[in-house]
Amino acid sequence: MRCSIRTMKRFASNSTRIVLPVSILCLFVLAMIWVSYIRQKSIDRKAAIQFAIEKNSNLAVALEQFTISTFHNADAVLQLARIEYSREGAALNLKSLLTKSLVNAEVIECLSVIDNKGQFVLTTMASAPTPLPNFSDRDYFKFHAGNTTDSLHISKPIISRVTGQKVIVISRRLTDASGKFAGLVALQIEPAKFTSFYAQAKLLPNDIISLIAPDGITYARRTGSKESCGEDIHKSPLFVHVTKNADSFYIAADAIRGVPTWFSYRKLKDYPVIATVGSAEQDIVGLYANRQSAIFTPRVVISALVILFSIAIALVLLHRRKSAEQLAEEKERYESLLTQQMIAVQEREREWIGRELHDNVNQVLTTVKLYLETASKQGSDPLIPRSMQLVNSSIGEIRSLSHQLSAPTLGTRSLVDSINALLEMFGPSTNIRFQFDHSGYHQRLAMNQKLAFYRILQEQLNNIVKHAAATRVWITLSQTNNQVMLTVKDNGKGFNCKAKTNGMGLNNITSRVKAFGGQAIIESSPGKGCILKVTAAMIADEEPVEV
């Protein structure tokens, strides 16, 4: 029967052992499912970002080509107008010239010829403003007037004096027969013309398309459906990347709105312009959210089925284990009935042994315990008096150090009273006559600044007493124009400032002055005494005080 019981227990134990491998297998399958999901999620995110980068790069190329084409056409119009003006002069019809040219004239707002004094000569405007504006103060006019080279100039967005709208002025220099500056031919383009071909594109609110000058001023910018220009984004990391690669991509917070954005950019080869296209990271992440949902749901279902399968196996095995344990318990109960008489005999023997231990051995042990307790109560510690002496000595040293470091009158008196008290402390122990002038001191300082000036004076007086061999010391404390000044002058033996800078406690003084943004000047030479001048911005106490 004992063998049969062991068999039942072994069966129950084996059932328990099977549950563990099944659970481990279940966890392994679940781990594989979700590790693959996380890996796929990372792959999809990188793919979405790469797709956005490639899309933005293509848009940047398109923006670059459109911008180059616009500048090229504008320059062709300027070159043609300059040639025709040199032939026909003021009789030239700019409107007819612009209409007959092969370039796209829709982007051009105004074509004008301006003389060397900044006045209109010709213009395509139907009605010129009255009085006629002068352009000699414009940057593009100054550029051509001071530059003898025939260069195309592209201005930053400015307010047109003709249309009243923000425009970009593109201009070329005119010269007379002798080669001297004779004015310029210029045309105006609205900044929105450069990004208008994106108007039909489905741009998200955080998408950015912009043309940027190397100094950080935007020629044109489109954020979603909002057009703008003239923003200053010189702090953008774009310009660091441009110095390394003429066309690439990067991620950074948008310099205007602070939204993390993936940018693709291209630096135009022949023009001082950088074309950029950006997509917000949050929008890129949102592009693959639907795909993640399609991947996530099946994995949830499979994981649930795996868990249910594992639970079912575990329940079956646990039920079989419980049945085996119950059968083993029944057989053990029957077997125990056969041995009850033997147990009864053993219990009687144990009862007798226990009574002997209680009545004899236990009494001896109790007596030993009483002796040990009595011995422990008679002990003493001779180190207690010595310990008290050390504690008292420590307290005395701390109290002495506290007196040395504290300024006892600053907490309850003014700075003037504290300085007077300080001079009274120095007076009896020295042969120095102190003269303290505080007639120019009117407003109480904040506690921290008051303490700083107190410590500076204390340090300098210590220097004078120890090293100067002086007989007179003049102290001046004053305030003017939100400044507080402390001057300490003595008639001692003086010293060489360059040779003694690191000694006599002067480092402590300069350190305290720098702590509250002040300035310390030390003037001294051998035989001529020393002058210390401390100046700092006044930090007034919040509570008023009578002067």
Residue 148 lies in a domain: no
pLDDT of residue 364: 44
- Distances in whole angstroms, Cα of residue 382 to Cα of each of 5, 88, 386: 69, 122, 8
pLDDT of residue 358: 44
Backbone angles phi, psi at 245, to 5 degrees: -140, 135
Tell me if 161 sits within 8 A of 129, measured CB to CB: yes
Residue 154 lies in a domain: no
pLDDT of residue 402: 47
Strand partners, 171: 153, 186
Tell me if 136 sits within 8 A of 118, measured CB to CB: yes
Half-sphere exposure of 460 (CA within 13 A, CB side): 31
d(C-alpha 456, C-alpha 451), whole Å: 9
For the chain, how big is the Rg over CA atoms in Å?
48
Sequence letter at residue 444? R
Low-confidence ranges of the chain (pLDDT < 50): 2, 5, 8, 336, 338-340, 342-347, 350-365, 367-378, 381-392, 394-405, 544-547
CATH of the domain at 264: 3.30.450.20
Tell me if 249 sits within 8 A of 57, measured CB to CB: yes
> Which domain-ending residue is among 238, 265, 287?
287
Residue 69 lies in a domain: no
pLDDT of residue 103: 64
Q: Coil, strand, or helix at residue 169?
A: strand
d(C-alpha 346, C-alpha 287), whole Å: 82
> Which domain-ending residue is among 239, 259, 287?
287
The residues, ordered by sequence, that sit 6+ positions from 224 with a Cβ below 8 Å of its Cβ are 203, 204, 205, 206, 207
CATH of the domain at 507: 3.30.565.10
> What's the pLDDT tens digit per position in 28-57?
788 887 787 777 777 778 888 888 899 999
pLDDT of residue 294: 65
**Of 236, 249, 237, which is closest to residue 53 (Cα–Cα)?**
249
pLDDT of residue 126: 76
pLDDT of residue 532: 93
**Residues of the domain holding 428:** 413-537
- The predicted model scores a pTM of 0.51
Half-sphere exposure of 158 (CA within 13 A, CB side): 16
Residue 171 lies in a domain: no
